[in-house]
Amino acid sequence: MFTDANTNKQFHNAPSSSAAIHSKAYDLDKAISRAQNHLLSLQDEHGYWVFELEADCTIPSEYIMMMHYLGEIDEPLQAKIANYLRLRQSENGSYPLFTGGVGDLSCSVKVYYALKMAGDSIDAPHMVRLRHYILSQGGAATRALRSPSLNNCLGAVCRIFLWKSCCFLAGFRFI
Return the domain boundaries, the chain: 4-41, 58-165
CATH topology of domain 58-165: Glycosyltransferase (1.50.10)
Kindly report the three-state secondary structure assignment for every residue of the chain. CCCHHHHCHHHCCCCCCHHHHHHHHHHHHHHHHHHHHHHHHCCCCCCCCCCCCCCCCHHHHHHHHHHHHHCCCCHHHHHHHHHHHHHCCCCCCCCECCCCCCECHHHHHHHHHHHHHCCCCCCCHHHHHHHHHHHHCCCCCCCCCCCHHHHHHHHHHCCCCCHHHCCCCCCCCCC
Q: State the Cα–Cα distance between residues 104 and 118, nearest whole angstrom.
A: 21
What is the pLDDT of the chain when averaged over all its residues? 79
Amino acid at 84: Y
Ranked by mean pLDDT, which of 8-22, 108-122, 134-148, 152-166 comes out on top? Answer: 108-122
The Cα diameter of the chain in Å comes to: 73
> For 16-36, how does the pLDDT look when each residue is reduced to its tens digit (9 = 90+)?
566 666 677 778 889 999 999
pLDDT digit string, tens, across residues 136-158: 998 877 655 555 545 555 555 55
Instruction: Pick the closest to residue 122 from 140, 145, 137, 148 (CA basis).
Output: 140
Residue type for position 11: F
The answer to pTM > 0.85 is no
Radius of gyration from C-alpha coordinates of the chain: 25
Read off the pLDDT of each residue in 24-52 and give the average, rounded to a whole number. 89
C-alpha 158: how far from chain center: 20
